Each structure stands twice: as C-alpha cells, then as structure tokens.
Structure 1
Amino acid sequence: MAPTYDHPGERAAQDPVRLLAIRDEPLSLDEVFKAVGDDAAGGTALFVGTVRNHDAGADVDELGYSSHPSAEAEMRRVAEEVAAAYPVRALAAVHRVGDLRVGDLAVIVAVSCPHRSEAFEACRKLIDDLKHEVPIWKHQRFSDGTEEWVGAC
C-alpha cells in the first residue's frame, strides 16, 4: 500500500486551471510549460500534437482547424473535470485554429501533479477528452488533391 502524506502539496491546488486558449497564431511550448510550474509538483507531463505528413495511408500537404464558438467553454469543462479527478497542481491547454503546415504545433497540453504517475494519467485524460469532446474540426488536404473533414458531424 502506498504511503499517505498529510501535506497540502499532496492535494489538488485550489484553482489549478492556469491557461486555456484556442488561438490562430503559433503555439509556445515555453508558455505552456511555465503555466504549469508549481513548487509542490513532483511531476509534469506535457503532450504536443503536431501536423504529420500522412493520415490513413495518404500524404497530407496541409490542414486547417476550425472551432465552434463554444469550444473554449467546452475546453474549460474538460479541464475542470480532469482537475477534479486527479490531484492537479496546475493544468494548461492550447489548441491552434487556422491553416497549418506539416510540422506545425496543433495542440499542447500540460499537467503538473505531486507525483509523475498522476501527471501522466491526468495529461493523457486531458488530451484524450479534449480531442473527443471539444468541438474543434480538422480539414485535411492530401497530395492527390482530395480532402476530408475529421471530427465534423
């Protein structure tokens, strides 16, 4: 059985959601990493999603992201649910919209927690829920001239 500690740093912070944004400009790893800095955090997990050059066997030239007006509110809801489920000291998530090229940063999420395992789990939950629940859609344009929307209903 893992030891339990009675220290305030072992618990979630009062207001751990430090940065949430949907932006049409390049994203900054430094900004997100700094946003989740916390002296009580022993583990910080960061996920960076980039535009890759292929999808489902086809070459991708570029893509565009668009979002519903409710996307930031949904992002906050997802972030608050993750913060409630884990001992999150700090959390940040930013997603890009607009036209992106291969190699561009599309999304960055980061979570700091008292311990690494919690940080990994919370970060994975944050990115998975963000991708499944926040209304942000991807329009991929392929080298063969075809295109497709991903995530649009």
Structure 2
Amino acid sequence: MAIAVSVQREAFDVAAEYAQLRRDNSADGATAMFVGSVRDFNVAQSVAHLELEHYPGMTEKVLREIAGEARQRWQLGRARIVHRFGRLDPGEDIVFVGAAAPHRQAALDACAFMMDFLKTRAPFWKKESGPDGERWVEARESDRDALRRW
C-alpha cells in the first residue's frame, strides 16, 4: 500500500485508516494525519449541508498523482487520501490525508502538501446550502497562497 486513494460516499473510520498506514510498517517512525470535517459556516454564512460532486476516474487519478508527488518529495513509506462525495452535514468527516515516513517533519510536511494540492487541484465541486439558498464554493486566495509555498 505505498499509495492508496479512495473516493467514496460512505463515512470512513479514522482509526482504521491510521491502522492501515501503520500495518506491517516498522520502517516508518512517524505517521501524520489530517482529518477535515464539514463546518456549519463558511465566510460568515451558515451551512446546513454540503454537496460534493466529482469526476469519477479523473478524481482518483489526480489524488494518486498528488500522493505520488508527496511520496517522492519526502521519501514516504506510505501515503493515503480518502475523500467523500455526496451530501454531507456539518460535523461529518469529509477528508483523511495520512503519511508515514522515517521522520516526523517529512510526514507533517507531506500531509500539508497533499491537503494544499487537494484543496486547489482535485476535481471536486462543492455546493453549500443554507438559509440564504445554495452557492457554489470556489478555492479561496488563501488556498492558492498555501499552494505557492510548495
């Protein structure tokens, strides 16, 4: 499982994802993870739920490329990205990014890199629904700024 990617409708189990990164893996002394959840607000507007669409096949390909680039840059033993699609309510987990590496900084940097690229490059389309109606969500300038550091 050097690189594993999953785009799925169903919820994921964070503990199981962590265990998968660590399974039979004594070479990597550091494991870093990021779990993102749906918020009940965005840019000072309430969010009742979020709907994510994606381009099947293309999305998985892009996520594998992102994880592969991270693995090359930091010589990771393993990288894992899980991203959900469909309707999600506030508080539900939406994304899991994990990296296992020989050392802590490599694992931490790889997770940050994967999230920064995922936020701006992965082919997902997000639509928020709230009391003011529906709105499509676009990448923020802060997301693009974060990407530029790499």
The one-letter amino acid paired with 1:16 is A
Unaligned runs of 5+ in 1: 1-14
Asked which structure has the greater CA Rg, the reply is 1
Contact 1:95 1:107 survives alignment (8 Å): yes
Unaligned runs of 5+ in 2: 140-150
Residue 30 of structure 1, CA deviation: 2.1
Paired position in structure 2 for 1:45: 32
Residue 131 of structure 1, CA deviation: 1.6
Contact 1:35 1:91 survives alignment (8 Å): no
The one-letter amino acid paired with 1:90 is R
Tell me, in whole angstroms, the C-alpha distance in 1 between the residues paired with 2:138 and 2:64: 19
Tell me, in whole angstroms, the C-alpha distance in 2 between the residues paired with 1:39 and 1:127: 25
The TM-score with structure 1 as length reference comes to 0.84
Where 1:36 maps in the other structure, the secondary structure is helix
Residue 125 of structure 1, CA deviation: 0.3
Where 1:52 maps in the other structure, the secondary structure is coil
RMSD of aligned C-alpha atoms? Answer: 1.4
Paired position in structure 1 for 2:142: none
Tell me, in whole angstroms, the C-alpha distance in 1 between the residues paired with 2:112 and 2:21: 15
- After TM superposition, list the pairs within 5 Å mapping 1:5-16 onto structure 2: 16=2
Where 2:68 maps in the other structure, the secondary structure is helix
- % of aligned pairs identical? 31
Paired position in structure 1 for 2:108: 120
- After TM superposition, list the pairs within 5 Å mapping 1:1-153 onto structure 2: 16-17=2-3, 19-37=4-22, 38-69=25-56, 70-144=58-132, 146-151=133-138
Aligned length: 136
Tell me, in whole angstroms, the C-alpha distance in 2 between the residues paired with 1:46 and 1:60: 25
Tell me, in whole angstroms, the C-alpha distance in 2 between the residues paired with 1:55 and 1:29: 24
Residue 40 of structure 1, CA deviation: 1.3
Where 1:103 maps in the other structure, the secondary structure is coil
The TM-score with structure 2 as length reference comes to 0.86
Where 1:111 maps in the other structure, the secondary structure is strand
